[in-house]
Structure 1
Amino acid sequence: MFNEDRPSSSLPDVASLPHASGSGVLDWVGMDGMEMPVQFDAGDGQVRQTSARVGAFVNLAKEGARGIHMSRLYLLVDEALSAGPVDEAMLRKLLESFLASHEGLSDAARVVIHFEQLIRRRALRSDNSGWRAYPVRLEAVLADGKFSMEIGTDVVYSSTCPASAALSRQMIQQRFAEDFKPGQPLEHEVILRWLGTEKGIVATPHAQRSTAKLCIRPAAANAPKLLAIIDAVEASLGTAVQTAVKREDEQAFALANGANLMFCEDAARRVQQTLDAMPGIADFHVRIAHHESLHPHDAVAYAGKGLT
């Protein structure tokens, strides 16, 4: 008769048996996409809980070992993420527990956590505010006794093409020249009314939603919080997407777009200079993508701190 209360030590462990697949070490073995809760403080003092997808891995350094103990990784991740907010100290402790549970098999450990962090953002002019969900990617590695961590997110903003803006201004000049002939007296009120019609804005530059994908490696000390990084990057771009808006907010956004004409190269340099000037960042990589309304493809630029 099958005994459901039988101790696990009496159950067969195929992974520990000799195998015919040959020997060799493996870089990473584990599980990816585990469904877990995660608690995180982006830097606003609010610890928020949301759902996450987690990858947990160790290397397989022992020659001839067939596999690792995946259930141990799962239980350790479950315990750690249920205990409190994710931070650098917690991730390091979690990776140390991975290695302790695989003593003799592994000497390197890695964890990757994907989730979305809700952050409340104020409107540009009105008293309204709304929620933005920023994707967050945390990756930590412990190898050869050295701990490293990276944090990634996306900043979404609007980009207005400088070339298209120049072409639009030229078309407006041409329409003005057609409607107001040389030598014709120019009356202030007439011109003011003309500017308020569709003739006064006969052409508009193309603009598009754009994405700055950030990957940050914090320094050992004085590392900035995620919210500080997001705030600095959004300020450098000047046209972060909005949440709740009234007409005064939309007008302020249009004004910001007109004052922040940029190619993807311009945006990449702005973000690069901003992150380069922030203390507590050891390295970073940035991918800028302008999802163009003119083309069916993206305009893309990459930038970094210049380190490997």
Structure 2
Amino acid sequence: MTQPVLEINHLVKQIGAKQIIKDISFSVNEGEIFGLLGPNGAGKTTIIRSIVKLISKTSGEIIILGKNIDTSYTEAIQQVGAIVENPEFYPYMTGLQNLKTFASMSRNKISNERLEEIIQLVHLDKAINNKVKTYSLGMRQRLGVAQALIHEPKLLIFDEPTNGLDPEGMKEFRLQMKMLARQGVSVLVSSHLLTEMEQLCDRFAIIERGELTHIADMKQENLAEAEQLQTFHMHLEPLELSRELLTNWKIDYILADNGTSHFFVKSSPSDIPSLVKKLVSEDVSIFAIEAHTKTLEERFLEITKHNGGSME
């Protein structure tokens, strides 16, 4: 089995008598986008700051490509590119000057060709010679991604990277991360934006009050949902006959309260074809049928409600 790019084993962070992070373990695989999902204050940033040693952990083990950060920090951190808070730059210097300044601090020589490749990758070629003070938030975010990529890391770490970005900026960031993942780069990203994480991540972990309460593969979540009872929106005519048949067949449904023939039927997906045949045989006209798939937000609320937590 391929070695994980990042391994977190029994991570604990304690301040005084209070445990901020409570025995958290997870791993991130090569070419995977892994999300830490949870409300503000859940502990996501503390986990990320512990990984890059911006704060010291109380106990536990953090391994990056086989290197323990406690015993081989220099070797381990060489494989990481990170934006832990808002990317900071010299505003009166151009984007290119900022990148060259950062490149000069690298242990390895960064060629002009490498810089040009990264600039093209983050689509900043038209603005790279402008002063950073003229950049929009989205452009500064792209420059931050460029900075994180300079030394060709195997692991990228972003803490709330889409905060303040408009929908176009979020989409652009998402496409960049997916492209990098296809090239084998692993991405660890934290956010409280549920819809954005649903579109971005391959796997996600829910963090609540410093605890990891749920971890799942996004595809498996969708498959599991498909195997369970789902709600189907069905437009059936005539209304009274449809209602009588569904009631007699003991089909669980809710009728739209606006007086129209829109039914919300709860059923297993595998039972829908036979239900359609039965309705048609009784001269019911079916004008629409649409499955309602749970979003990550709904799954999150289900899980946190079950665990006694909330997004508040």
Class of the TM-score when normalised by the shorter of the 2 chains: under 0.3
Of structures 1 and 2, the larger Rg is shown by 1
Higher RCO (CA < 8 A, seq sep 6+): 2
TM-score normalised per structure 1: 0.24
